[in-house]
Amino acid sequence: MPRNFREKKESSESKKSFTFIDLFAGIGGFHTALHGLGGECVYASEWDLSARKTYEANYKPICPKLFEKDLFRGDITLEENRKCIPEDADLLCGGFPCQPFSQAGLKKGFSETRGTLFFEIAGIIKNKRPKAFFLENVRHILTHDGGKTFAVICRVLKEELRYSVYFKVLKASDYGLPTRRPRVYIVGFREDIPSARQFAFPDPIPLQITMSDVFGAACSKRVGYTLRVGGGRSGINDRRNWDAYLVEGKVKIITPQEGKKMMGFPDHFHFPVSDIQALRQLGNSVAVKPIQMTAANILQVLSDVRK
């Protein structure tokens, strides 16, 4: 099976329509990636009002039904928002926040995760039974509480929800984008998907743009820093620096327009919010290219199921 399915020439199969659910949607990194593969978003949720403005501004023109049918909802912990999630979506996606699991490792299944946002995802998977899921989180979730937290997550997904589970830490800079941004990707397939064992995460590809391309001028760094969530600005020589670069010998502070290029969003993507809010949103977002390449491999596994 080709590991970089999307890197092949477009085929009728790769453009086949599929449906997906976008949880903890942020500004829609999953939406951008999956729309590019021919997917239709049938439900999305995001509670942050600023991020909702950006999401609606960019996806209402390309996915009007989502908004016309009032399926772009807020807080997923509210029953009124959960009950309108459609059945039979092909793929459930979400970059869920990592909250501490106070009783991780005690083998209590859902009782261990109740009260965390992972439980909301687990409950939706249990009730809606999508063919597959694709989750993203910070890599430190693998070692949180001595690895007990992630063991609980895997046990719930495998033993209680009956999905196969694959996970791997991928860096955006290994998939064409000029930002490191290591994240753990968690992929699962429903137990009745026999081709699940064929799944593989995509192989790395060469860098497609550099920070010099991002700035449109010579930059001292080829690969940029990981954008921070709400990180305060610091000097270019500070070890915590994340937004200052030396461009043609002068210090340049990253802007949202440059940040979106680093993260793989298209040129037409825009922010109807302040620059501070936009940078915070980018810091919370998934990087588009590795998401798209991984999703393409998920779709290849699901291609026979969707026929």
Tokens of 134: 């694709």
* Residues whose CB is less than 8 angstroms from the CB of residue 93 and which lie 6 or more positions away in sequence, other chains included: 20, 21, 22, 23, 30, 34, 133, 134, 135, 295
Structural contact between residues 57 and 272, judged by C-beta atoms closer than 8 angstroms: yes
One-letter identity of residue 252: K
Residue positions annotated with a catalytic role: 98
* Residues whose CB is less than 8 angstroms from the CB of residue 55 and which lie 6 or more positions away in sequence, other chains included: 25, 26, 27, 28, 31, 44, 46, 72
Using alpha carbons only, what angle is made at residue 229 by residues 156 and 140, rounded to the nearest 5 degrees? 35
d(CA 190, CA 192): 6
Q: Which of 81, 80, 100 is nearest to 22 (CA)?
A: 81
Helix (H, G, I), strand (E, B) or coil at 209: coil
Structural contact between residues 132 and 92, judged by C-beta atoms closer than 8 angstroms: yes
